[in-house]
Amino acid sequence: MSYKYRLFIFTFLISFIPLLIISLYSYNSLRVELVKNNISRLEVVADTAKERINIALDQYLDQAELVTHRLQLGSYINNFLESENEESFEGIEDILSKLSINELNFNSAEIYNLDGKHITSTGQGENQFNINADKIQAGGDKFQLNNIFTDKNGQLQVSIWGPLFFENKKVGYIEYTANSHLFTNITDDYFLLGDTGEITLLKNTQAGDAIFLTPLRFDKNAALTRTVPKDTENATSLATIKKLEETLIEEDLVDYRGKPVFAVTRYIEPLDWSLVAKIDQEEVFSSGTTLLLAFAAVFLTTLIILMTGVLVFTRLMTKPINELTKIAQRLRQRDFSARASEIVSGELGILSKTFNEMAHELQEIYSNLDQKVKERTRKIESIEAEKEAMLSNIGEGVLATDNKGRLLFINRAAKKILGLTEGKFTGKPLTRIVKMLSGEEKPISEHNRPMNKVLQTGKPYSVTSINNNYYYLNSKGEKIPIAFVVTPINLDNRIIGSIEVFRDIMKEKEVDKAKTEFVSLASHQLRTPLTMISWYTEMLLTGDAGKISKEQKNYLREIYNGNKRMTDLVNALLNVSRLDLGTIAINPEPTDILKLMTEVLAELKPTIEKNKLSIKEKHEKIPAIHLDPRLMRIIYQNLISNAVKYTGKEGKIEINHTIMKKGEMADKNHRINTESVLITVSDNGWGIPKKQQEKIFTKLFRADNAKLKDSSGTGLGLYIVKSVIEQFNGSVWFESEENKGTKFFVIIPASGIKKKKGSKNLN
Amino acid sequence: MTKTNGKKILIVEDELPLLKALSIKLTNEGFTVLQAQNGQIGLDLALKEHPDLILLDIVMPVMDGNTMNDKLRADDWGRTANVIFLTNVTDENKWANFLGGRHYLVKSSWTIEDIVTEVKKQLGME
């Protein structure tokens, strides 16, 4: 919840609750006070009223005494009683008619004798009460109030009776009636009694109920008519019945109207009357209520003012905070131009100022940073552009994939070769983008794709020879022969992808094919005529065309030999050309090389025997080696026939086969680096002149002494031997001294050779 | 007149001098020799005459030796026919695979005498 509202609610509660509590308390106190005040007043009024009633009573009584005395009614009565004549009686009436002293009007008088018998009266003589004996007994020596009553006109009167004396002797009684106004003046006086208060006078009826003696404020006809039954609960007039003087502050106290009142009761003993001073509770509290309302109004107003004040205050407080918040948000969004309006004073002022300083600094830093970033980006972009240019201009196809085989990058050359010029390919699996075929014309399965193999094993996979038939299927469905190298991309010892470089080798294959076909053609074209010459010469020599002379035979032999040399040369040249063109087919199989050597020796047996050469052999047991026997045979043929050819009669030839382990020395200059077979062919023949030894392995080279001794060598044999041995990953060298002999060393690794797909076999 | 030994040999060779030389030689040895100068003629003759041995050149016009051999083998008799390939090409890649495993002679390396010997050997004679 926002600060503003929190503060508001907080202040509200802080001010409202105490105020409320205080109000309620005050109100309560007020009520109590009011009640107290009113009750006090009521008591005063009641006491005063009681006093006044007594005074009024006394006034009536005094007046009666006075009048009686003045009128000397006693003497008249006496006269009457003695004489009983009318005259004296008329005189009484006469006197009585002059009654009206002070404000007290005695309206009439009744006279009674000692026995209480009515003698005469003024007026109409209505009230002919006989004063009964009880009364005489009770208090016949003084004047007293007899009764209060309503006359035949409805007027409220009092009757006062007392004794008549003559010469200190009671001679009779007199009863006056007078207006009750002395009393009613009191009860009609509402001074200090507000609008609802009054004084009521009550006495008990014979039935025990209470009867009102005077007119009531709210019922003018109540006098001597209205009663409050004795079993009425909570009635003010109960006091009468109990003759108590009490202060009644009870909530449920009600008056004759049924309205809740407070009352003070007094007892007027002389009259046996009760006096009740009462006032409506409502009236007592009304001032309180008014006050409360006023108070509430004040309270609310105060509250409203206070709240408004709080609102304004919090507004005042939160406005700068909000502003700062907005500034902060702008700063967060990199708008460093944002500045707070600086409130001059106080904590917020300092905050704003600091904010602005901070924003300023940030602005500077960022613009600096921005600058630097822009520069760097420019640099990077230019480098990127260069790289991009480099990459896209690489002449060979480049494909990069992620570790799941999805294409990350394809360069322009690759797109061109594969015909993928339209569309986006990055993100798609490479195996879906382009199909690869191997020589068998079947598409390579996803699992066997070189890329996947590389991703799995982390080892590079390359097919670079033009003789391996790998193709990509381009967008037109054409088979594009390719040579490729796929390598894994390593980062922190994890394979994160692969990268392939490939090229279209169609041209190379075509060139290769052209070379192959040329050699084949040359081979065929050269050999056919040689065959013809050979066979026909042979047939002539064997006499198939008839007998020939010795001379003819000799000539024919020369032709035949010449042809043979030519054939040999052609064969050798063809082999050399194949070796040069790199198109030899190597078909390795487990080969018993000793057996090959033995066969070659057997072929050369005629010449060996003719020259009486001795062959010494020393061989360890050589296991089968995985190599091409035809090529191996050529090595033996060349080395052994050389030894035979270039050794004099009765010469010695030695052939050895030894197994050599890694690290051993074949001779002082040659260390074996893998388990191999060492073959040595040595003779004690003509040797190779030192000056010409370095050229021995070159094409068509024949040492001078060899040329002299035997004109029939091609000069190609050792070149072929060296080439083939290199194919076998072996090595060949020799030691030779002219006229002493030659020793050839050949190392063939025991691991043999891999199958190489070439187009040609050597003859 | 040379006596025949009852064996029929079909020579399929496009170079006429070579064809003739082989024919003469083999006839002198007593064989009955049939000649064909291309694979088509050779095939027809082979299927018609059922020779005991066929000397088959490879590089020939109209139909080469390879094709003729394939067609020959499609025939019931042809499947079992005795064939020696004669060639001067051992190096064309198609031939290299083809010849490996078949009986062939390189003409320029063989004397005609040796060829005759080989023929006899092949037919179980001598």
CATH number of domain containing B89 = 3.40.50.2300
Establish, for the pair of chains A and B, how many residue pairs have beta carbons separated by less than 8 Å. 81
**Residues of chain A that touch chain B, judged by Cβ-Cβ distance less than 8 Å:** 516-517, 519-520, 523-524, 527-528, 530-532, 534-536, 538-539, 542, 544, 567, 570-571, 574, 578, 585, 587, 758-761, 763
Report the residue of chain A nearest B22, measured CA to CA: A535
Residue with tokens 């109209």: B62
Which of A747, A725, A751 has its CA nearest to residue A670? A747
Q: Do A523 and B59 touch (CB under 8 A)?
A: no
Cβ-defined contact of A528 to B15 (cutoff 8 Å) = yes
State chain B's maximal CA–CA distance in angstroms: 45
Whether CATH 3.30.565.10 fits A584-749? yes
- B1 is a domain residue: no
d(CA A511, CA A594) in angstroms, rounded, equals 39
Token duo for residue A316? 């005042």
Q: Using a CB–CB cutoff of 8 Å, tell me whether B2 touches chain A.
A: no
Q: Do A520 and B89 touch (CB under 8 A)?
A: yes
CB contact under 8 A, B91 and A574: yes
| Identity of the residue in B15, B21, B109 whose CB atom sits nearest the CB atom of A536 | B21
Contacts of A592 (CB under 8 A, 6+ apart): A622, A624
3-state secondary structure A208-262: CCEEECCCECCECCCCCCCEECCCCCCECCHHHHHCCCCEECCCCCECCCCCEEE
- B2 found inside a domain: no
Q: Quickly tell me which residue has 């070189």 as its tokens.
A: A450
| Dihedral of alpha carbons A448, A450, A452, A454, sign | positive
pLDDT of amino acid A5: 78
Contact residues on chain B for A567, CB-CB shorter than 8 A: 108-109
Burial A219-256 (b: 16+ CB within 10 A, else e): eeebbbebbbebebeebbbbbbbeeebeebbeeebbbb
Structure tokens at B95: 């031939």
CATH of domain A394-501: 3.30.450.20
What's the pLDDT at A255?
A: 84
Q: Which of A527, A538, A544 shows the shortest C-beta gap to B111?
A: A538
**Mean pLDDT on B86-106:** 64
Task: With respect to residue B96, please indicate whether it lies within any of the assigned structural domains.
Answer: yes
Largest CA distance in chain A: 245
Among A524, A758, A760, the residue with its CB nearest the CB of B88 is A524
Q: Mind spelling out the 3-state secondary structure of A490-544?
A: EECCEEEEEEEEEEECHHHHHHHHHHHHHHHHHHHHHHHHHHHHHHHHHHHHCCC
- Residue A625 is given by DSSP the state E
Distance from CA of B79 to the nearest CA of A (A): 27
Those of residues 64-123 in B touching chain A at CB distance below 8 A are: 88-93, 96, 100, 106-109, 111-113
Q: Does B16 touch chain A (CB under 8 A)?
A: no
Please state the rounded mean pLDDT for residues B43-49. 92
Question: What pLDDT score was predicted for residue A84?
Answer: 64
**Confidence at residue A101, expressed as pLDDT on a 0 to 100 scale:** 47
Alpha-carbon distance B33 to nearest alpha carbon in chain A (angstroms): 17
Torsion of CA A691, A695, A700, A703, to 10 degrees: 20
Pick the residue from chain A with its C-alpha nearest to B29.
Answer: A544
Is residue A452 helix, strand or coil?
helix
Distance CA A354, CA A12 (A): 33
The number of folded domains in chain B is: 1
Closest residue in A to B26 (Cα–Cα): A544
Q: Which of B27, B87, B108, B109 to mutate to test the interface with A (most CBs of A within 10 A)?
A: B108
SS3 label, residue A315:
helix
Of A516, A531, A536, the CB nearest to B108: A531
> From the CA of B72, how many Å to the nearest CA of chain A?
25
Q: Which residues of chain A have pLDDT under 70?
A: 1, 71, 73-74, 76-77, 80-81, 83-105, 120-140, 236-241, 343-344, 440, 582-585, 754-763
From chain A, pick out residues whose CB is under 8 angstroms from the CB of B59. Answer: 524
Whether residue A519 and residue B107 make contact (CB cut-off 8 A), yes or no, is: no
Q: Which residues of B fall within a CB distance of 8 Å from A544?
A: 24-25, 28
pLDDT of residue A244: 78
Which tokens go with A714? 């091609």
**Residue A625 carries which side chain, given as an amino acid letter?**
I
Q: Which residues of A touch B22 (CB under 8 A)?
A: 535
Helical ranges in A542-656 per DSSP H = 550-581, 593-603, 605-610, 629-645
Residue A129's pLDDT is: 57
B113 within a domain of the structure (yes/no): yes
Distance from CA of B116 to the nearest CA of A (A): 12
In a domain, B3, yes or no: no
Q: Average pLDDT over chain A, rounded to whole?
A: 83
**One-letter amino acid of A659:** I
Q: What pLDDT is attached to residue B93? A: 44
- What fold characterizes domain A1-191+284-333? Beta-Lactamase (3.30.450)
Average pLDDT over residues B66-71: 89
Q: How far lies A33's CA from each of A41, A209, A260, in Å?
A: 12, 34, 18
Q: Which domain holds residue B80?
A: 8-119
